Amino acid sequence: MRNHSPRPASARLARYGAGRAGGSVRVSARRKAGRGDEAADVGGREPGTLATAKKTGPSGRRPAAGSAAAGNASQDLAAPEAALGEAPGRDAPARGAPARGAPARGAAAREAAGSQVGADLTVAGWEYAPAPEARDVVRIQDEYGLFIGGEFVPAADGRQLTTINPATEEPLARVAEAGSADVDAAVAAARAAYERTWRDMPGAERAKYLFRIARIIQERSREFAVLESLDNGKPIRESRDVDVPLAAAHFFYYAGWADKLEYAGLGPAPRPLGVAGQVIPWNFPLLMAAWKLAPALAAGNTCVLKPAETTPLTALLLAEVCQQAGLPPGVVNVLTGDGTAGAALVAHPGVSKVAFTGSTEVGKQIARAVAGTPKKLTLELGGKAANIVFDDAPMDQAIEGIVNGIFFNQGHVCCAGSRLLVQESVADAVLDRLRRRLETLRLGDPLDKNTDIGAINSREQLAKIRDLTDAGEQEGGERWSPPCVLPDRGFWFAPTIFTGVSQSHRIAREEIFGPVLSVLTFRTPEEAVAKANNTPYGLSAGLWTDKGSRILWLAQRLRAGVIWANTFNKFDPASPFGGYRESGFGREGGRPGLAAYLDV
């Protein structure tokens, strides 16, 4: 099975000039033919990107900067001023500019480089050029209806809500707001399709529809990526390279299971449950829809999907894809609206299965509503994952894992590594490299391919992040962010690190769901386990060490549903995902993801 997980930050960010492991990118400098200035060899990459080159010593390993083996062979792009004898971090960048100043051009750059040019690797004069994705690849309608029974229809009471672009606060579209009458209509359409068509359809035939949906998602991937970034605020590279490919992969994967259910080890004749009510969050709208719909449809269920009120547009585009694929009417229904529509769907007597991804508080309300009913329930809730770095960890790789673990998708990830536990003996070195790495991240326009940090999804979420970070300072935490000028419009928050954090601080206990990292230290593996488990959540954890025995020892003791070793945020349709305690129960993905939608 091909790994559809997001590329490591070292691959994703270095490609777009955002730096490399530990903040050190080695850029080859050459003279342009017929010109006197230095230029970075972009090697055919997208506008505004830098080509990277490696320099290794006699052993085949890259020499450390400043070592005898390295000599003058390399300079750190995260601190280009150092190559010119300037103090780092003097000026804050403008919007879309690198977090550290670019070196001088022309004669000054040549003089600084001196004899290094051609003989080794130096920092070339460069600047980022805008690399925006075309917005007109997707047509956004002025108004959208509810998708019920294979057709787009207005809400029964005519109510609408407006969805906006969180990067600019620009209204994108007016969307129908479902009420109780609309929930009744959607569940009735799903029940009719289940009993008349979908339940008794051979698995091989159901698989054909899922394959069609997967292929159409791939064919319309640019539309989905642009629409996701506009409606959600995440960088286009993440929408394009992570969300959309993984969504298609889930439909492909479960299409393969549709005619093999009796061989899944779930009993000789597993049966579908009926109508599945599925409520998804705003952080990965398309991907979460695929996580829910694909296994449910493969198992023979019909679905009523309720996307988040701030990010409904890709779910509605997916409904259009269902039409395009010829899916029988009523098999998939999409209800847009606020939390009242979701609550009505969960409580509806015609729903046989409830699947929810979102906050722990709402998950508890759903669990109480479903208790005492025959409905099956799956909850994937919040988390406060520990990313544990030992003194023998591959340091550059660990830095990239830390960055990917918490700053991917602006920290809007339930399994984000929001607590960094570092062994005391290497804490200063890790923090120094981490700060330099963060200075290379670029915050700005989500549709620019150079952007690493996009917009916060909503004003309400931004207020929550600010409240918790203010509490962190009041409780004695030391706050640090790289120099960063935030755009005037939209919802933005700079990547932030807190040191001097104790386990009693709110920022170490509560899920922030933003680009905020709390740093704690430990001395022994036993202390690391105790601190990592000191949380009501149990969704994920990360380990960074060279010792395989230590990985296995820790994995047996950490109370988390998913544990990554020397990596972070890796996903695959064949791999089950989920947590326990206040992170929920049940699994999504893989064969266990099918079991949640079957009567076995």
Q: How far apart are CA 566 and CA 393, in angstroms?
A: 8
Using only C-alpha atoms, the chain has a radius of gyration, in whole angstroms, of 25
The H or E element spanning position 264 is none
Q: How far apart are CA 450 and CA 156, in angstroms?
A: 44
Concerning whether 380 is annotated as a catalytic residue, the answer is yes
3-state class (DSSP) for residue 107: helix
Contact 564, 543 (CB under 8 A): yes
Q: Which amino acid does the sequence have at 352?
A: S
Q: How far apart are CA 571 and CA 250, in angstroms?
A: 11
Please tell me what DSSP assigns to residue 39: E
What does the DSSP assignment read for 4-25? -SPPPHHHHHHHTTS--GGG--
Sheet holding 170-176, edge to edge: 143-144, 170-176, 160-165
Q: How far apart are CA 532 and CA 388, in angstroms?
A: 8
Give the pair of three-digit tokens for residue 469: 């970070």
Task: Kindly name the residue from 303, 414, 415, 484 that is annotated as catalytic.
Answer: 414
| Helix, strand, coil shares, percent, the chain, to 5 | 35, 15, 45
Q: How far apart are CA 456 and CA 465, in angstroms?
A: 9
Question: Residue 248 to residues 269, 285, 291, 307, 555: CA-CA distances in angstroms?
Answer: 28, 13, 10, 18, 31
Give the pair of three-digit tokens for residue 414: 């339930």
3-state class (DSSP) for residue 323: helix
Contact 18, 408 (CB under 8 A): no
Q: How far apart are CA 348 and CA 106, in angstroms?
A: 70
Residues 6 or more apart whose CB falls under 8 angstroms from that of 361 comprise none
Q: Residue 480: what are its φ and ψ, rounded to 5°? A: -145, 135
CA 481 to chain CA centroid, Å, is 21
Q: Which amino acid does the sequence have at 565?
A: A
Task: Kindly name the residue from 38, 133, 380, 588 that is annotated as catalytic.
Answer: 380
Which sign does the torsion angle of CA 138, 141, 146, 152 carry? Answer: negative
Q: How far apart are CA 532 and CA 538, in angstroms?
A: 10
Concerning whether 414 is annotated as a catalytic residue, the answer is yes
Give the HSE-up count for residue 13: Cα atoms under 13 Å, Cβ half-sphere: 31
**Residue (of 28, 54, 191, 199) closest to 125 by Cα position:** 28
Contact 521, 499 (CB under 8 A): no
Q: How far apart are CA 577 and CA 579, in angstroms?
A: 7
**Residue (of 589, 591, 597) closest to 291 by Cα position:** 589
**Residue (of 467, 598, 588) closest to 539 by Cα position:** 588
Which sign does the torsion angle of CA 151, 155, 160, 166 carry? Answer: negative
By annotation, the residues acting in catalysis are 380, 414
